[in-house]
């Protein structure tokens, strides 16, 4: 598979912060994979990890070493599988050079993540890389000067650049304006404006929360609030949903390439590529109904597809959000324990009724928040927002978390700006 063909990993690149044909080809995949495997080994008691700083440092070191091994393995696999052309055609020397480039670039990503974990910055490396990748995609698709031959003539990839190019070169200005806003399979002004709109809506919803009054059971007069946000589980629902669907799409495309005539493979999904597009499009099977309609015409022309996709997005995000609070230690029972350990109780309620009171809010916030996340992703996809609905939601929620962390540090250190007061 050459680098000029449709990208088979297009769907998973958002959550892996990777870009095809760049040094960030592997993205955060080695970090996530090594961390996941080591956590599974520890959870299954196949390796013993104590609570002492020395043992935790040893565990983290082993995780980093495992990440380096995975980096080399993935780099070799990418080249061997033909992502950059047939290895026999490009030669052993070029193949080794590509492997070395991918390996060293990913090792730098591992080191940057380590720096952030050591406290030389805000947040985690994984979140930062995902947000940076999505923002870079939006800026690139708005301002890219790369040219694409579409059959309608040579066009610029960037939506803003294409707008000025079409207005100045086409005789029919109205038709040029229409094409700048609605051209298919390439970034357009409609997508760019939709992206800005979705950004604003997600930021607006970030402010929705319920503040539950709490007080100290030890010190009289000490009061505070425990906030329960609408997005109680943050971006976890869309990450889990996207990871599930993306892997399904990748597997379906691989099977279609090898066994395209098989009836059962076609039930899973049929795929085709479009001229000038960087990815394949599902045209049938389960994957077709799990992928968003690409145009307003497609939304109206196939209402069953539209309804199925909306139902799946809303249901899966609500399910993942509701499930996540139980496995991540953020359920009502876990929060009540945290409050009890901090000698805090809910104002106006007995300590024994804290769990019952929290259960009125937390499961509802998790499910409804996941539902809203899914709805916003659907809206972004239907509007054709640049970077996909998943990418925009991830970017906005991560950036908002950074903003909150920055505000918190400003308050702790007595920051002087009126913006944070």
Of residues 17 and 273, more confidently modeled: 17
pLDDT digit string (tens) for 205-238? Answer: 888 888 888 887 777 777 788 888 888 888 888 8
Instruction: Please provide the DSSP assignment of 359-382 as one string.
Output: HTTHHHHHHHHHHHHHHHHHHHHH
Pairing assessment for the beta strands 209-216 and 154-156 based on DSSP bridges: unpaired
Percent of all residues in the chain with a pLDDT value above 90, rounded to a whole number? 12
Q: Place 3 in a pLDDT band, splitting at 50, 70 and 90.
A: very low
Cβ atoms 178, 184 nearer than 8 A: no
Task: State pLDDT tens for residues 372-417.
Answer: 999 998 988 888 788 777 888 888 888 888 888 888 777 777 654 4
For residues 276 and 300, which has the higher predicted lDDT (pLDDT)? 300
Q: How confident is the model at residue 275 (pLDDT cuts 50, 70, 90)?
A: low
97 pLDDT more than 80:
yes
| pLDDT on residue 100 | 94
State the pLDDT at residue 1.
44
Instruction: Answer with the residue of higher pLDDT: 82 or 72.
Output: 72
Structure tokens at 372: 């809203």
Q: Report the first-to-last Cα separation within the chain, whole angstroms.
A: 55
| pLDDT at residue 265 is higher than 60 | yes
**DSSP structure string for 237-292:** HHHHHHHHHHHHHHHHHHHHHH-TT-HHHHHH-EEEE-TT-SSEEEEEHHHHHHSP
Query: For residue 99, what pLDDT is reported?
Result: 92
pLDDT number for residue 274:
62
Whether the per-residue pLDDT at 418 is higher than 70: the answer is: no
Q: Are 87 and 95 in contact (CB under 8 A)?
A: yes
> How does pLDDT run across 8-33, given as a tens digit for each residue?
777 778 888 888 888 888 888 888 88
3-state secondary structure of 338: helix
The residue among 349 and 74 whose pLDDT is bigger is 74
- Identify the pLDDT of residue 421: 47
Could you tell me which CATH number the domain at 193-421 has?
1.10.3370.10
Residue 312, judged by CB atoms within 10 A of its CB (0-12, 13-18, 19+), counts as middle
pLDDT grade, residue 419 (50/70/90)? very low
Quick: pLDDT tens for 168-209.
888 888 888 988 888 877 888 988 998 999 888 988 888 888
Q: Which residues contact 246 (CB under 8 A, 6 or more apart)?
A: 11, 12, 14, 15
Q: Which residues pair with 228 in a beta bridge?
A: 210
Percent of the chain with pLDDT over 70: 94
pLDDT band at residue 420, thresholds of 50, 70 and 90?
A: very low
Do the beta carbons of residue 375 and residue 314 sit within 8 Å?
yes
Instruction: Give alpha helix (H) positions in 81-220.
Output: 87-117, 125-143, 159-169, 173-182, 189-206
Residue 17: HSE in the Cβ half-sphere, 13 Å Cα cutoff: 20
Q: Average pLDDT over the chain, rounded to whole?
A: 83
CATH 1.10.3370.10 domain position(s) in the chain: 193-421
The stretch 45-67 carries a mean pLDDT of 80
Phi, psi of 367 (to 5 degrees): -65, -45
pLDDT confidence band for 6 (50 / 70 / 90): low
């Amino acid at each position: 598979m050459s680098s000029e063909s449709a990208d088979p990993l297009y769907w998973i690149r958002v959550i892996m912060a990777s870009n095809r044909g760049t040094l960030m080809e592997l993205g955060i995949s080695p970090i996530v994979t090594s961390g996941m495997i080591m956590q599974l080994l520890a959870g299954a008691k196949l390796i013993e990890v104590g609570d002492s700083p020395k043992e935790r440092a040893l565990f983290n070191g082993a995780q980093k070493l495992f990440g380096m091994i995975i980096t080399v393995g993935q780099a070799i696999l990418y080249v061997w599988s033909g992502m950059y052309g047939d290895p026999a055609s490009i030669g052993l020397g070029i193949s080794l050079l590509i492997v070395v480039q991918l390996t060293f670039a990913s090792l730098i990503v591992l080191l940057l993540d380590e720096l952030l974990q050591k406290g030389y910055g805000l947040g985690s490396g994984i979140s930062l890389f995902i947000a940076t990748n999505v923002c870079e995609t939006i800026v690139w698709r708005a301002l890219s000067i790369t040219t694409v031959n579409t059959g309608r003539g040579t066009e610029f990839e960037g939506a803003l650049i294409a707008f000025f190019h079409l207005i100045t070169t086409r005789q029919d200005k109205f038709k040029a304006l229409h094409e700048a806003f609605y051209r298919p399979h390439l970034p357009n002004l409609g997508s760019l404006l939709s992206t800005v709109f979705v950004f604003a809506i997600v930021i607006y919803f970030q402010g929705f929360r319920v503040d539950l009054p709490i007080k100290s059971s030890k010190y009289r007069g000490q009061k505070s609030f425990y906030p329960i946000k609408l997005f109680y589980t943050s971006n976890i629902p869309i990450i889990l949903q996207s990871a599930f669907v993306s892997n399904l799409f990748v597997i379906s495309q691989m099977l279609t390439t090898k066994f395209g005539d098989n009836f059962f493979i076609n039930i899973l999904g049929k795929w085709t590529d479009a001229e000038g597009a960087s990815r394949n499009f599902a045209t049938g099977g389960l994957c077709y109904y799990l992928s968003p309609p690409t145009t307003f015409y497609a939304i109206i022309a196939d209402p069953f597809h539209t309804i199925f996709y909306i139902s799946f997005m809303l249901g899966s995000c609500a399910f993942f959000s509701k499930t996540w609070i139980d496995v991540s230690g953020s359920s009502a029972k876990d929060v009540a324990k945290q409050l009890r350990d901090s000698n805090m109780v809910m104002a106006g309620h007995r300590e024994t009724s804290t769990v019952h009171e929290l259960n009125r809010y937390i499961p509802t916030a998790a499910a409804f928040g996941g539902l809203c996340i899914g709805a916003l992703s659907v809206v972004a996809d239907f509007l054709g927002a640049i970077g996909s609905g998943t990418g925009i939601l991830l970017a906005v929620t991560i950036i908002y978390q950074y903003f909150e962390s920055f505000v918190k540090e400003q308050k702790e250190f007595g920051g002087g700006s009126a913006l944070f007061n």
